[in-house]
Amino acid sequence: MDTSGQYKQHSSLLPKPAGMQNLPEGLLEAVQKAAKITPLEAKLSTRDQILNKIEELCMQWQNKAENKQQLAYAAQLASTTTGFTDTMAALNTEKNNQVASLQQEIEHLRREAAAPTLEIPPQSHTASSEAYTPAETVPHNGNPHRGYIKPSNLSEPLSFSSD
């Protein structure tokens, strides 16, 4: 004969749940009495409501954690983007300065090229029978002499043959 199902433990012998240990003794007895007289279906319904509330709170906590993670990522991205933007602005400024410097140098070279650097003596504008041709002549003493050959210095007149 199995008598284990006949006898139930008295509620005072059961361990108190952790959250209920801090309750005053009178309130604790009221909760225990309500638990005894409450039908099983109501207890299951209450348990389901509590589990649903816990699940809802977990989802809220998870959403908050994901939002914080997204904000941290956005802050890091903004910091990285700001650094990149600052670097690009500095490089752009440097490039603009180099372009401006090169433009100034080009303008300076254009002005130099446009300015007359060779001064032509006024007598060379008139027709002359003298041809100024730089030549290096070596006199009989062996020392090179730079001078100009004039037609009057030539012993024979210049003639070009078609030979």
Q: Region 24-42: what's the mean pLDDT?
A: 85
Query: What's the pLDDT band for 26 if we cut at 50, 70, 90?
Result: confident
Query: What's the pLDDT band for 36 if we cut at 50, 70, 90?
Result: confident
Query: What's the pLDDT band for 1 if we cut at 50, 70, 90?
Result: very low
Query: What's the pLDDT band for 146 if we cut at 50, 70, 90?
Result: low
The pLDDT > 90 percentage for the chain reads 28
Size of the chain in residues: 163
Tokens at 119, concatenated: 């001064």
Does the pLDDT of residue 32 top 70, yes or no?
yes
Q: Are 155 and 147 in contact (CB under 8 A)?
A: no
Q: Region 42-52: what's the mean pLDDT?
A: 89
Q: How far apart are CA 82 and CA 79, in angstroms?
A: 5
- Burial class, 32, CB count within 10 angstroms (exposed 0-12 / middle 13-18 / buried 19+): middle
Instruction: State pTM to two decimals.
Output: 0.35
Q: Region 120-134: what's the mean pLDDT?
A: 53
Q: Region 99-103: what's the mean pLDDT?
A: 95
**Nearest Cα residue to 132 out of 149, 113, 110:** 149
Render the burial of 112-143: b for 16+ CB within 10 Å, e for the rest.
Answer: eeeeeeeeeeeeeeeeeeeeeeeeeeeeeeee
Question: Between 115 and 127, whose confidence is greater?
Answer: 115
Question: Between 124 and 154, whose confidence is greater?
Answer: 154
**Nearest Cα residue to 32 out of 41, 20, 40, 49:** 20
Query: What's the pLDDT band for 156 if we cut at 50, 70, 90?
Result: low
Q: Are 27 and 16 in contact (CB under 8 A)?
A: no
Does the pLDDT of residue 2 top 80, yes or no?
no
Torsion, Cα of 59, 61, 67, 71 (10° steps): -170
Question: Between 146 and 101, whose confidence is greater?
Answer: 101
